[in-house]
Amino acid sequence: MSMKKTIEKAEEYLLHTYNRYGIVFDHGDGVRLYDADGKEYLDFCSGIAVFALGYGNKRYEKALTDQIGKITHISNYYYSEPLAEAAEGLVKASGMDKVFFTNSGAEAVEGAIKAARKYAFNKDGKCDHEIIAMEHSFHGRTFGALSVTGNEHYREAFRPMIGNVSFAKFNDYESVEALVSDRTCAIIMETVQGEGGIYPADKEFLQKIRKLCDEKDILLILDEIQCGMGRCGSMYAYMQYGVKPDILTTAKAVGCGVPVGAFLMNEKVAANSLVAGDHGTTYGGNPLACAAVAEVLRIFEDDKIIDNVNKIAPYLQKKLQEIVDEYDFLLAERGLGLMRGIVFDTAKKKPGDVAAAALSNGLVLITAGTDVIRFLPPLTITEADVDEMADKLRRALSE
Ligand SMILES: *Cc1c(COP(=O)(O)O)cnc(C)c1O
């Protein structure tokens, strides 16, 4: 089918909730994508931080096809070996104690919120607990996740949200402290805000929040759905902050293309929150998804993926800073590891226009917030890939 025909068919039948670019992607290889006409694109989006290993990793593909040959689904009333393997792997990699597998990031956030509310309910038997979330945060599109998402644009038409959520200013400790009451059960935030515009948490901010949570027995929920799984230079970004969350959410790169997420918790929360019957999912943790998770984690270790992140990230940062210095409509570069953004003076140039121009030049990029283009390449990129990206980006910026 021609690209035009595919697009026409898709638009005829799909509910229009995305303004898609007019490209039909057909296959991938390493850090490159190919459209249905065979045109090559360098991918600095990786399906929004999903394809951490790049496309066509042979070990990953073999693990999946082997599992497809055996069984792809059993109900959660039974055990499977991939489930046990993935659970051990993810608990060890995340530094947490127990895991619940979901099908997506939003569902991981739902589970995290339920665990926090149950923990508080178990303490005082009350149903009036509050959650503090952050402005400009993003946690997903389902009602619980949307209720802690600090972006009015996503929420307005869908009110009422779940109640008792208030929003503090990210990286402003006093604004968090001001919202705390004796009914606060959890503080939720991304360790590095993604959709909101690539804002890493300040170390001091996160450490003070941790201390506050300890003092008041408030649960700290860190959403690392985008910034986790090695992207920021450690298996989870929190590991660079000298703090540990009580509940951690993960998804996106954890299955590298198979839809899967998880929420994890420490022993304290595990022992005092969700019990049999409290939470469930039909697909969550099925053998196909778990075969992917278990193999992804093994490949991360064997191929020293995080070492590559730490090798390439400073180079990417340097190249982006050079570009920022060259264009008067670029204001700054920021990020952590291979999760980076450049900030636009939107009165002079729109990031969306540059992302579209980049695509025509064979470079896949996406925006974040209102004034940022973000860079989320596969974690396997090389310096040569960064150089190629910089050339293509310059061309797009100069258009
Ligand atoms: C993408 C994302 C989500 C939502 O994940 P889905 O799989 O799209 O439901 C939640 N939190 C963060 C930080 C994300 O980046």
- pLDDT at position 169 is 98
Residue 195 backbone dihedrals phi, psi, to 5 degrees: -55, -35
Comparing CA positions, the residue from 389, 274, 371 lying closest to residue 329 is 371
* pTM of the model as a whole: 0.98
* CA distance from start to end of the chain: 32
In order, the DSSP letters of 301-341 are HHTTHHHHHHHHHHHHHHHHHHHHHH-TTEEEEEEETTEEE
Q: Give whole-number Cα distances, 397 to 58, 341, 391, in Å.
A: 36, 14, 10
- CA 18 from centroid of its chain's CA atoms: 19
**Domain match, 105 and 199 both:** yes
The tokens for 157 are 């038409």
Residues with pLDDT less than 70, the chain: none
**Domain match, 164 and 255 both:** yes
Q: Cα(263) to centroid of ligand 1, in Å?
A: 12
In the listed set 302, 325, 349, which residue is the last one of a domain according to the structure? 302
Atom number of ligand 1 nearest to Cα 251: 7
- pLDDT at position 306 is 98
**Domain match, 123 and 25 both:** no
In the listed set 255, 280, 302, which residue is the last one of a domain according to the structure? 302
C-alpha 357/C-alpha 360 separation (Å) is 5
**Which residues, 6 or more positions from 344, have their beta carbon under 8 angstroms from its beta carbon?**
329, 330, 331, 350, 351, 354, 371, 372, 373
**Which residues, 6 or more positions from 238, have their beta carbon under 8 angstroms from its beta carbon?**
191, 206, 222, 224, 244, 245, 248
pLDDT tens-digit readout, 107-116 = 999 999 999 9
Considering its fold, how many domains does the chain have in total? Answer: 2
In order, the DSSP letters of 359-370 are HHTTEE-EEETT
Residue 172's domain is classified under what CATH number? Answer: 3.40.640.10
- pLDDT at position 289 is 98
Q: Cα(365) to centroid of ligand 1, in Å?
A: 18
- Is residue 42 a part of any domain in this protein? yes
Residue closest by Cα to atom 5 of ligand 1: 105
Strands 165-168 and 130-134: parallel
- 130, 113 Cβ separation under 8 angstroms: no
Range of the domain at 161: 71-302
Q: Cα(106) to centroid of ligand 1, in Å?
A: 6
**Domain match, 20 and 105 both:** no
Q: Is 112 exposed, middle or buried (0-12, 13-18, 19+ CB in 10 A)?
A: buried
Q: Cα(194) to centroid of ligand 1, in Å?
A: 9
C-alpha 58/C-alpha 41 separation (Å) is 21
Residue closest by Cα to atom 10 of ligand 1: 139
- pLDDT at position 138 is 98
Residues with CB under 6 A from ligand 1: 104-106, 109, 138-140, 190, 194-195, 223, 225-226, 251-252, 261
**Domain match, 255 and 312 both:** no
Ligand 1, from 45, 138, 190, 191: best to mutate by most atoms within 8 Å of Cβ? 138
Q: Cα(39) to centroid of ligand 1, in Å?
A: 29
pLDDT tens-digit readout, 319-364 = 999 999 999 999 999 999 999 999 999 999 999 999 999 999 999 9
**Domain match, 42 and 96 both:** no
Torsion of the alpha carbons at 229, 195, 284 and 118, rounded to the nearest 10: 100
Q: Which DSSP letter does residue 148 get?
A: T
C-alpha 84/C-alpha 219 separation (Å) is 27
Atom number of ligand 1 nearest to Cα 226: 15
C-alpha 237/C-alpha 124 separation (Å) is 33
Q: Cα(193) to centroid of ligand 1, in Å?
A: 11
**Domain match, 337 and 233 both:** no
- 17, 39 Cβ separation under 8 angstroms: no
**Domain match, 377 and 281 both:** no
The neighbouring-strand residues paired with 1 are: none
Number of neighbours of residue 362 by Cβ within 10 angstroms: 18
